[in-house]
Amino acid sequence: MQPTSLAFKQNAHRALADPALQQALGFARTGFQQKRADAAARLPEFEALRDAAKAIKDHTLAHLDLYLEAFERKVVEQGGKVHWARDDAEARAIVLRLCREAGARSVTKSKSMIAEEIGLNEALEAAGIARVETDLGEYIVQLAGQTPSHILAPAIHMTKSQVSQLFAKHHGTPPLDEPEALLGEARRVLRQRYFEADVGITGANFLVAETGSIVLVTNEGNAELTQGLPTTHIAIASIDKLVPTLDDACTLLRVLARSATGQEFSAYTTFLTGPRRAADLDGPKSFHVVLLDNGRSAMIGTELQDMLRCIRCGACMNHCPVYLATGGHAYGWVYPGPMGAVLTPSFIGIEQGRHLPSASTFCGRCEQVCPMRIPLPRMMRYWREQHFAGPSSPPVQRYATRLWAFAAKRAWLYQPAARLIVALLGAMGRRTGRFRRLPLAGGWTVSRDLPAPQGKTFQSRWRARPASRP
């Protein structure tokens, strides 16, 4: 996927002017936040569970090499295969090779952000393999020729009527008003595709070292049909999805669903261990796990390690006022919202991704709701520091900051300068108490009046106060 993160401002401008998108985001805001808050309130031990979940991931990351090898051993013992991919190109090549070996003409796919990260969809298309997305939101996004704008709800940027028009165009259906009718239509089309597919590709919410299992979470049951019906199942997952034991996976599942959708548990939670055994009634004949690094192991031991705790619940974006204003596409790459503001520079570089960590008020709601207690603002600040010191830092901003800091470090200079500016602005704004326009303040006055200073600094008034005070 060609990133457009560098054009974040232009992307945001378009998004803010798109009434359908704004309407769709309005629904997102009210739904997700209230559901998470209610789910957290219903569980007295929710905060303790967050601590436990964090501890599990911290422990796993500290011993990741051991758990990865243990996981591979267990997968092989069950008759499956593990493929190691250093980067996106290797991962694509592995998946395409496995598809060719399976003689695949068509594949079904259940939602996987890793597939987006490695550009798998384009690669399958280029290889002439038909791909059908089986998650309803992903299916909608595929029909529209778009990419997901949210890691859980890929089509959250679209309204019901847009989806209805899309189905009318591609399926020739009459306009459908009810969500149930739209769902029924998608189900009718998808059902046949499940049976036709030669390979099923899924992601994985967790990888369990103890048993070599992968854990899949959906509300539509589509991942189960995707992995179980074709003869070959390929699960693609990044190395940070690992947990030591089944118990650990269950702890994480308890915070995942509550943080994501406010459910106690997702409608479908499936533990998959190896390919079909002799006595099994169904399941794939061959089972492959593609483990993707793509820069993650390099984050271990750095300022960014905490980010690898992320379980992709989406709570950070559901509570982010910037995400809820612009939607996910404005972020210009795979991962939107606060988690994207940290991950995008990690994966495509701070030069390309520099706007994302900068476009935050540091309001802290993401960290407040993150079930894994990832200090997202702290990591955005880390990226700001890298950018400030780097070659692409805009000179005007850098010099303005440095000039201000130069004065702020010298009270003998700062205070007279402040008195002068405040006196000038105070006199200019004396009558109205505010400015509608002011040179160099265009970013502010484009939509707000600037309050005029009262005319003297506090410190000059304080020092000039009558000597009666001690």
| DSSP string covering 25-81 | HHHHHHHHHHHHHHHHHH-TTHHHHHHHHHHHHHHHHHTHHHHHHHHHHHHHHTT-E
Options 48-56, 219-227, 236-244, 404-412: segment touching another protein (CB under 8 A): 404-412
CB hemisphere CA count around 330 (13 angstroms): 28
Which of 55, 360, 464, 466 is in the footprint of another protein by CB under 8 A?
A: 360
Query: Which stretch, 62-70, 117-125, 178-186, 426-434, contacts another protein (CB under 8 A)?
Result: 426-434
* From candidates 106, 185, 364, 438, binder to another protein by CB under 8 A: 364
Contact 235, 204 (CB under 8 A): yes
Residue 402, helix vs strand vs coil: helix
Stretch that binds another protein, among 135-143, 168-176, 201-209, 399-407 (CB under 8 A): 399-407
Backbone φ and ψ for 243, nearest 5 degrees, come out as: -135, 155
**Which one of the spans 186-194, 227-235, 248-256, 428-436 is the region binding another protein (CB under 8 A)?**
428-436
**Buried residues in 367-387 as b, exposed as e (16+ CB within 10 A):** bebbbbbbbbbebbebbbebb
Comparing CA positions, the residue from 275, 291, 272 lying closest to residue 283 is 275
Cβ 163 to another protein, closest distance in Å? 25
The stretches of 349-389 forming alpha helices (DSSP H) are: 350-353, 355-358, 365-369, 376-389
Q: How many residues bind another protein (CB under 8 A)?
A: 68
Please, what is the minimum distance in Å from the beta carbon of residue 469 to another protein? 9
Site for another protein, residues 317 to 356, rule: CB under 8 A = 321-322, 325-326
Rank residues 149 and 211 by Cβ distance to another protein and give the closer one. Answer: 149
Site for another protein in 106-135 (CB under 8 A): none
List, edge to edge, every strand of the sheet that includes 199-202: 81-85, 286-292, 232-238, 199-202, 106-109, 130-133
Answer whether 165's CB lies under 8 Å from 172's CB.
no
Closest CB to another protein among residues 298, 408: 408
**Which residue carries 């003689």 as its tokens?**
103
Tally the C-alpha atoms within 13 A of residue 182's C-alpha that lie toward its C-beta: 19
Stretch 2-31: interaction string toward another protein, x if CB under 8 A: -------x--xx--x---------------
Which residue in 368, 420, 427, 428 binds another protein (CB under 8 A)? 368
Burial of 127 (0-12, 13-18, 19+ CB in 10 A): middle
Q: Which of 405, 420, 424, 427 binds another protein (CB under 8 A)?
A: 405
Question: Contact with another protein (CB under 8 A): which of 267, 408, 424, 427?
Answer: 408
Q: How far is the CB of 148 from another protein (least distance, A)?
A: 21
Q: Which residues of the chain form contacts with another protein (CB under 8 A)?
A: 9, 12-13, 16, 321-322, 325-326, 358-365, 367-368, 381, 383-389, 393, 397-398, 401-402, 404-405, 407-411, 414-415, 418, 421-422, 430-434, 436, 441, 443-444, 446-454, 456-459, 461-462, 470
